[in-house]
């Protein structure tokens, strides 16, 4: 599929590229780490979210510019190629999409993406690769223990060492756990801001659209309180929005509608919370289950 080369190019400057009516390729940041004496630089790895399929204009505009074709023709090209991809997936179940990786149609009918692990979209790590270090051998001078030192009971010495190791392990685990929580919340906030920037900066040139008058009966709360809504998806069809709302409620979420967005789409939220911290914690929990979500602040 030729559009994946354009998606690959866009991901070096954008953390989210949406393929209309198909899904979104989203970058996730990973800090540098050490494993088995090997140092790994900071990375940005691709993930896939089939729920983010509303056209934000980024890919279509890029395709229109790079191929010197109209916006309408670029959109049709994307739709044709994604439809061909779906047909091929139905027949072969798993196919390669160069240069991003592989995509598979599971037995439950869900799209599963396997990224190419050698690709690193973190521009600050350009040119850096993992490397191993050799352990530093130090000569240890052995002192002959004096008779006075030999009077210390070996059992007491080992007990003191064991207690010290337990203390260091506890504090090390506590600090590392706090570090992981802070990094997870920070990465969610960065990805959220980038997705909102993509949507807000998108430009559209699809002509005049007919006015759609819909009578919305969704349970939207009209208060002056600020809500931090964890958005699951936006839908042009009220019927589809209600189906997804009921699906989330059946899974145990306190799902509800938020205010209709400026383009007339129905937003469905996993929950509407009263603090940003609670919203980020819910987003992290959703992402750990393989789903995706983004934050909307409602005044």
Q: Which tens digit of pLDDT belongs to each residue from 189-214?
A: 666 566 555 544 443 343 444 444 54
Domain extents in the chain: 3-125, 227-298
Q: pTM for the complete prediction?
A: 0.41
Could you give the CA distance from residue 295 to residue 185 in angstroms, rounded to a whole number?
Answer: 12
Cα–Cα nearest to 53, from 235, 202, 207: 235
pLDDT at 253 > cutoff 90: yes
Superfamily of domain 227-298: Sporulation related repeat (3.30.70.1070)
- Beginning with the edge strand found earlier in the chain, give each strand of the sheet holding 16-19 in spatial order: 16-19, 23-30, 43-49
Percent of the chain at pLDDT above 70? 67
Q: Write phi, then psi, for 81 (nearest 5 degrees).
A: -70, -40
pLDDT at 246 > cutoff 90: yes
Q: Which tens digit of pLDDT belongs to each residue from 91-149?
A: 877 888 888 888 998 888 888 999 987 788 787 766 566 667 666 655 555 555 555 44
Which CA distances in Å does 50 have to 26, 158, 292?
11, 56, 9
Residue with the larger pLDDT of the pair 154 and 11 = 11
* Beta carbons of 230 and 293 less than 8 angstroms apart: yes
- What the block records as the tokens of 93 is 């179940």
Q: What is the pLDDT of residue 204?
A: 38
Q: Which helix (H) or strand (E) holds 187?
A: helix 154-201
pLDDT at 67 > cutoff 80: yes
Q: What is the pLDDT of residue 152?
A: 53
Q: What is the pLDDT of residue 43?
A: 81
Q: What is the pLDDT of residue 215?
A: 46
Q: What is the pLDDT of residue 144?
A: 54
pLDDT at 78 > cutoff 90: yes
32-36, 135-139, 233-237, 245-249, range with the lowest pLDDT: 135-139
């Amino acid at each position: 599929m030729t559009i994946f080369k354009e998606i690959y190019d866009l991901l070096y400057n954008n953390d989210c590229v949406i393929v209309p009516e198909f899904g979104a390729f989203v970058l996730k940041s990973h800090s540098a780490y050490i494993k088995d004496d090997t140092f790994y630089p900071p990375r940005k790895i691709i993930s896939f979210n089939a729920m983010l399929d509303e056209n934000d204009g980024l890919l279509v505009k890029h395709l229109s510019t790079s191929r010197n074709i109209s916006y309408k023709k670029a959109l049709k090209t994307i739709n044709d190629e994604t439809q061909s991809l779906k047909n091929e997936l139905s027949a072969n179940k798993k196919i390669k999409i160069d240069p991003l990786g592989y995509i598979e149609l599971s037995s439950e009918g869900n799209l599963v993406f396997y990224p190419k692990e050698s690709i690193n979209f973190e521009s600050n790590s350009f040119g850096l690769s993992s490397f191993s270090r050799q352990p530093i051998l130090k000569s240890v001078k052995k002192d002959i223990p004096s008779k006075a030192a030999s009077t210390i009971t070996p059992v007491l010495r080992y007990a003191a060492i064991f207690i010290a190791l337990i203390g260091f392990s506890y504090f090390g685990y506590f600090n590392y756990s706090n570090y992981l929580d802070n990094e997870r919340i920070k990465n969610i906030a960065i990805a959220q801001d980038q997705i909102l920037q993509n949507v807000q900066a998108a430009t559209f040139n699809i002509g005049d659209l007919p006015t759609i008058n819909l009578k919305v009966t969704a349970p939207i709360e009209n208060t002056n309180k600020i809500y931090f809504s964890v958005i699951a998806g936006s839908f042009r069809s009220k019927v589809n929005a209600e189906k997804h709302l009921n699906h989330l409620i059946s899974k145990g979420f306190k799902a509800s509608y938020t205010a209709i967005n400026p383009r007339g789409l129905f937003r469905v939220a996993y929950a509407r919370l009263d603090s940003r911290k609670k919203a980020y914690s819910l987003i992290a929990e959703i992402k750990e289950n393989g789903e995706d979500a983004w934050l909307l602040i409602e005044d």
